[in-house]
A = this chain, B = another copy of it.
Amino acid sequence: MNLLKEKIVNEGKVLNDHVLKVDSFLNHQIDPFLMQEIGKEFAERFREAGVTKILTLESSGIAPSVMAGLYLGVPVVFARKRKSLTLSENLLTAGVYSFTKQEENTIAVSGSRFTNKDCVLIIDDFLANGQAAKGLVHLLEQAGSHLAGIGIVIEKSFQDGGGELRRKGIRVESLTRIDSLSGGAVLFAEEAEV
């Protein structure tokens, strides 16, 4: 994803050694053309995986997921973050600990959205310590759905979430991997490692 790397280099802001701000094309303002390319790339990588649904987390995961769903021809479900849910009864919930805010939040999906016949691709914007991804995996475990894998737009490979998920045998496909944000600069992982 050279287009994504260019965007990160040109528009990303390194706030400190751990935080990359991508508010101009992914997390607050969204670049629809970039999302389309990201969706095509996820679809290509998971084309043969038998995906029946995509699961993501509001809000920044929605745009790349909807584009991936379009090119895979499958629906997208977004988990909600708050407890004040207007979803139906039969909620599946999981706790997601936020190291930034030092608090645990609940994420939830309607249990009627997933069955043990589903083969689900999880998509999210960032992967760092893997808390959100693990919460989403836990939702699918409760539904008895099969996990096709996890698609990530930007992985901070200097944090352990990706490694931990891969060591569990989960297929994690990250469109970009960042090895370091030290000194205000984005250092991408070598292509060969991706």
Contacts and interface: CB of A to CB of B under 8 A. Distances in A.
Interface of A: 21, 23, 25, 28-33, 35-36, 58-59, 62-63, 65-67, 69-70, 73-78, 80, 84, 86-88, 100-101, 109-110, 113
A101 B84 contact: yes
A58 B29 CA distance: 12
Given A23-B87, A23-B110, A101-B84, A62 B30 contact: yes
Contact of A75 (B32, B70, B101): B32
Q: Top 5 A-B pairs ranked by shortest CB distance?
A: A32-B69, A32-B70, A58-B59, A30-B76, A62-B62
B110 A28 contact: yes
Given A58-B58, A62-B63, A101-B84, A77 B35 contact: no
A36 B70 contact: yes
Nearest to A108: B28
A94 B62 CA distance: 24
Contact of A59 (B25, B33, B59, B101): B59
A21 B74 CA distance: 21
A47 to B, nearest CB: 16
Contacts of A87: 23, 28
Given A59-B58, A66-B67, A75 B113 contact: no
Contact of A30 (B31, B59, B75, B100): B75
